[in-house]
Amino acid sequence: MIIPQRSLSRLRLSGFRNYLSAALDPDARHVVLTGENGAGKTNLIEAISLLAPGRGLRRAPFDTLALAGGDGHWGVAATIETPFGPVDIGTGASGEGAGRRVRINGANARAVEDLSDHIRVLWLTPSMDGLFTGPASERRRFLDRLVTTLHPGHSGAVSDFEKAMRQRNRLLEDNRDPAWLTAIETQMAELASAIHFARTDSLSHLQALMDKSVADTGFPAALLAITPLLDGDIPETASGLEARLAQVWRENRNLDRAAGRTTWGPHRIDLQVTHAPKAMPASVCSTGEQKALLIGLVLIHARLVAAMTGIAPILLLDEIAAHLDPTRRRALFDALDLLGSQCWMTGTDAVLFADLGPRAQHFTVESGQVRPAG
């Protein structure tokens, strides 16, 4: 199945990070942004990442994104070329403590998840290089971002669960009314069940597609799993899992009160990744193998998003070429062509992207200014 490409044809920044203003009008080809460290390359693709639900590739609070010394307002606007015509989207905030605003075709969006009707965005940054050896929380966040591109409401469910869990922890600490605890645990169970099944469904589809087509990417396959949510068998129905979770939390109130936290739940699982050709946990693979695994995983994820949603995702690859040998770089560029996605790549040396040839357009970034290269 061929998925029509979606691309950014217009990008405008106002008061964002180190940009007083910026304007790019790319065509549908890949975009390469080159410049010295600190010039603003990552800031620019971070702006694109904010055109999708979530907190962007740096997960920064929205009230910290404004230009230093400015009025506290920032905005990002873009035009997306879709099979159904262009769509104008934008987001921004107006100072400290202000919430994020989202507009689609000039009207306020009902919810930030409405952006997913028009654009899906995936990214890979240098901060993710330690994904397989770092804390479980980082892998869980990576997993949830993966799931959200397939199930847009997932990030909201995770956020709501964490809020409810914090409330439960406070109630336990204060020895409040057990009936109140039961009500909170019931709410947590409904959210946790939705989170669990969204995760397992997404991983199942991702693994199936990887087993079928990873050879096309030129990067190694991975075996994916998540650690058990609970001891013993997991109920196969949402209602069954909700009842089981509520029971576990009720029975563990004293333990959790002593621990000062909720000891069971979706906030405790870990994503397990194995280098399939070597049958080796990713955590003990070499740095180069880990990088290759991660790239392969992102590429297959992009294919899955396109297949399941009908929207070819825009990829943001920050400093992607710096640590790849020439063979791997060529494999990456060829794999990007097969995706049919517009990809935005950054680097300090334009030579690293020479193999892209006319498949990409190049821009130079310097001190918060962007201009066509050459």
Report how far Cα 230 is from the mean position of its chain's Cα atoms.
26
Taking the C-alpha atoms of residue 164 and residue 191, their distance in angstroms, rounded to an integer, is 9
Please state the rounded mean pLDDT for residues 135-140.
96
Task: State the architecture of 130-307 in CATH terms.
Answer: Up-down Bundle (1.20)
Taking the C-alpha atoms of residue 284 and residue 345, their distance in angstroms, rounded to an integer, is 28
Q: Write out pLDDT tens, residues 341-352.
A: 899 999 999 999
Q: Write out pLDDT tens, residues 26-42.
A: 999 999 999 999 999 99
Number of Cβ within 10 Å of residue 77's Cβ equals: 18
Where do the structural domains in the chain lie, given as residue ranges? 1-120+311-374, 130-307
pTM of the model: 0.92
pLDDT at 148 exceeding the cut of 90: yes
Helix (H) or strand (E) holding 103: strand 101-104
| pLDDT-based confidence at residue 339 (cuts at 50, 70, 90) | confident
Task: State the architecture of 1-120+311-374 in CATH terms.
Answer: 3-Layer(aba) Sandwich (3.40)
| pLDDT-based confidence at residue 216 (cuts at 50, 70, 90) | confident
pLDDT at 163 exceeding the cut of 60: yes
What sections of the chain are H helices per DSSP? 41-49, 136-150, 154-174, 178-213, 238-251, 253-259, 287-309, 326-339
Range of weakest confidence among 141-145, 167-171, 278-282, 325-329 = 325-329
Structure tokens at 42: 């990552």
Residue-level pLDDT at 99: 78
Residue-level pLDDT at 1: 46
Q: Write out pLDDT tens, residues 264-285.
A: 999 999 999 999 999 999 999 9
Q: Write out pLDDT tens, residues 86-129.
A: 999 999 998 766 678 999 999 999 999 999 999 999 999 999 99
Taking the C-alpha atoms of residue 281 and residue 293, their distance in angstroms, rounded to an integer, is 11
Give the DSSP per-residue string, 172-217: HHHT--HHHHHHHHHHHHHHHHHHHHHHHHHHHHHHHHHHHHGGGT
What contacts 295, CB < 8 A, 6 or more positions away?
124, 219, 320, 332
